[in-house]
Amino acid sequence: MKIGISVGDPAGIGPEIIHKFFKTWGDHAVYNNIEWVVFGTPDFEYPNLTRHDIASDMAWKKITPGVACKTSATIQKRAFNAAITNLKAGQIDAIVTAPWTKSSFKLIGEPPVGHTEVLEAAICKDNPECKATMLLAGDALRVALVTTHIPLSEVAKNITKRAIFEKSRTVVDSLKRDFGIANPKVAVLGLNPHAGEDGAMGSEDRDIIGPAIKALNEEGLNIEGPFSADTYFIRYLHEAGERHDAVICMYHDQGLIPLKTIHFGESANITIGLPVVRTSVDHGTAYDIAGKGIADPASLKYAIDRAICIVKNRSIYQVKRT
């Protein structure tokens, strides 16, 4: 199996956590059969590792840790695009991404964009059935998002029956083929306080989310909700209590605040709904500690481990389906 790792923003902690991963865990027996391909990181040597140089040594010298610049923006873009090219060509089996800085793209005249959107554009342009969905996963809790990186003021008008249908079907399929869960049970959260209280605090839960859940159950999916978000996640703080295999959240912070409170540093961002495998760390570029040698590579390890498991699970699931 070949796992590709892209450096993300080289002005952030990406290079450091990649180095630390190989120094700390690279020789662990679980990785004996893994070939590594690293895109964009500075020079270092490691067994079974191939490096793809994205910039010259002179370019790297222009980068100051914790400071965005044109060079760092260009490198983060080139590294990921090179990884995507290799993935599409079948030269690697999965991409694991270190974090990048969306806002730095404006320095090279491009709009802010996330890894997920770039990957979806590259993989799905000729496949309308391909729908990228952001899933954050830890050992106990998995959350998927109906809307992602949009202003809170734009969320309500993007909550549609179609969006809930697509995300729910994608999540259920991913739980089967990526996580090996034969009969997944999924929760859907409401948008408004107390899931709207039958329209008293907003009509979206009653008129859009609830009917969408009913229709999905009529298709044979095991979907429950809408649940009030303020009390739902308490069940994941204790061993006792019924848990769902995944939770579909209406907007970014509704899902990521509880996920990171419970699992920060021990979870991964997984792009589901695509024919390719991509995972990422659960944190940002951490400019405030970049270059200080104190960044924790634990989430990178978790993302790598998830990518390896997903590649293996997909091969088994494919056999079962054929």
Last residue of a domain, one of 234, 250, 267: 267
pLDDT (0 to 100) of residue 82: 95
pTM: 0.91
Examine the pLDDT at 59 and tell me if it is beyond 90: no
Q: Are residues 197 and 226 in the same domain?
A: yes
**Token pair listed for 317:** 């699931």
Per-residue pLDDT band for 241 (boundaries 50, 70, 90) equals: low
DSSP code at position 158 = G
Mean of pLDDT values over 236-246? 81
Tell me which residue range forms the domain holding 260: 133-267
pLDDT, position 289: 97
SS3 of residue 249 by DSSP: strand
Copy the structure tokens of residue 107: 């320095």
**Is there a single domain that holds both residue 7 and residue 102?**
yes
Last residue of a domain, one of 224, 244, 267: 267
Q: With 60 as the cut, is the pLDDT of residue 321 above it?
A: no
Examine the domain organization and report whether 38 and 160 are in the same domain.
Answer: no
Q: Give the tens place of pLDDT for each residue, 82-129.
A: 999 999 999 999 999 999 999 999 999 999 998 988 999 999 887 877
pLDDT band at 240 (very low <50, low <70, confident <90, very high): low
Note the pLDDT of residue 162: 95
Residues 76 and 181 in one domain: no
Say whether both 138 and 126 belong to one domain: no
CATH assignment of the domain containing 253: 3.40.718.10
264-307 pLDDT, tens digit per residue, is: 889 999 999 999 999 999 999 999 999 999 999 999 999 999 99
Task: Choose the weakest-confidence range: 18-27, 56-65, 263-272, 301-310.
Answer: 56-65
Q: What are the residues whose beta carbons fall under 8 Å from the beta carbon of 112, sequence distance 6 or more?
A: 102, 103, 105, 106
82's tokens:
């090179």
Residues 18, 7: contact at Cβ < 8 Å? Answer: yes
Examine the domain organization and report whether 177 and 281 are in the same domain: no
Residue 200 φ/ψ, nearest 5 degrees: -70, -30
Q: What is the mean pLDDT of residues 52-71?
A: 86
- Structural domain count of the chain: 2
Q: How many whole angstroms from its chain centre is CA 122?
A: 16
Do 46 and 87 reside in the same domain of the chain?
yes
Residue 44 CA: distances (Å) to CA of 8, 19, 41, 300: 17, 8, 8, 18
| 189 and 230 assigned to the same domain | yes
CA–CA dist 320, 14 (Å, integer): 37
Chain mean pLDDT for the chain: 91
pLDDT given at position 165:
95
